[in-house]
Structure 1
Amino acid sequence: MKLLLDMGCPRGAVRPLKEAGFESAHAAELGLEIAEDIRILEAARQGGWTLLTLDADFHAILALSGENSPSVIRVRQEGLRAPELAALLLEVLRRCRQALERGALVSVRSASRLRLRLLPITPHRRG
């Protein structure tokens, strides 16, 4: 599984994810420092990345688009340091990896509080 960390995520989280066996990159490494959300989603889709973000907009864009990729993990805790973010993400991946590989949106409040929705989000699956 490939993990792309959005600009709001600490770059230092990439290394522990790589050490855990995940191909990982920060958006800045891909030249996406000032890219709009749509461009970041397209880069994630084309590259086969699962996107990790603190930004709620990505879930909304995917829900409205009807697309089935890329998977997006939205962390709803701000101020996490790189080691904390990496540890949280590794727990989310342990619990949700199969769904993320198929296409999913995951909203994370803590390691024990998350919400998963499979993609695409269709009218009867919204809400």
Structure 2
Amino acid sequence: MTPTFRLLLDQGLPRSAAARLRAAGVDAIHVAEIGMWAALDEEILEQARQSKQVVVTLDADFHTLLALADANAPSVLRLRVERLNGEACARMILDVLAVCGSELLAGAAATADLTRVRLRRLPLTDPGR
């Protein structure tokens, strides 16, 4: 059975990427589609946590916020490739989901560029403290 991914795409990503992901069978929505185009990062994280979505963003601040809050959810996927059109963005997200989707469903912070994906399980706190 294929896992069900619920994605919340942040403002810096093309809105058309959400439509392309939906066409590929992924439950995806862009923050602008739900009136959150000017929302604070903390508000986007809370929306995703409540809705059991994975945040997809270009913004490194989301990982920092997860670490500071010692959060177990939501998962965040940070893309480190800017200026992708909707098609290329959706393709990259689908590629990352194929590689580490189960970890994102379980609670993780991932960073992806064109050649690799780095993944850390949530919470992001130092286990030695």
| Normalised-by-shorter TM-score class | over 0.9
Corresponding residue number in structure 2 for 1:68: 72
- Aligned partner of residue 87 in structure 2, secondary structure: helix
Corresponding residue number in structure 1 for 2:126: 123
Corresponding residue number in structure 2 for 1:6: 10
1:36-115 to 2 correspondences below 5 Å: 36-110=40-114, 112-115=115-118
Q: 1:28 aligns with which of 26, 32, 42?
A: 32
Residues paired across the two proteins, number: 125
Structure 1: 5+ residue stretches without partners: none
- Percent identity for Structure 1 against Structure 2: 45
- Normalising by structure 1, what TM-score? 0.94
What is the rounded CA distance, in whole Å, between the counterparts of 2:38 and 2:20 in structure 1? 25
What is the rounded CA distance, in whole Å, between the counterparts of 1:30 and 1:12 in structure 2? 14
Structure 2: 5+ residue stretches without partners: none
- Aligned partner of residue 123 in structure 1, secondary structure: coil
What is the rounded CA distance, in whole Å, between the counterparts of 1:69 and 1:30 in structure 2? 20
What is the rounded CA distance, in whole Å, between the counterparts of 2:31 and 2:87 in structure 1? 18
> Alpha-carbon deviations, 1:37-73, whole Å to 9, x = none?
1011000100111010000000110012111111100
- Aligned partner of residue 124 in structure 1, secondary structure: coil
For 2:122, give the aligned amino acid.
L
- Normalising by structure 2, what TM-score? 0.92
Which aligned runs of 4 or more in structure 1 are off by greater than 6 angstroms?
none
Q: What's the Cα RMSD here?
A: 1.4
What is the rounded CA distance, in whole Å, between the counterparts of 1:16 and 1:35 in structure 2? 23
For 2:92, give the aligned amino acid.
L
- Aligned partner of residue 113 in structure 2, secondary structure: strand
- Aligned partner of residue 81 in structure 2, secondary structure: coil
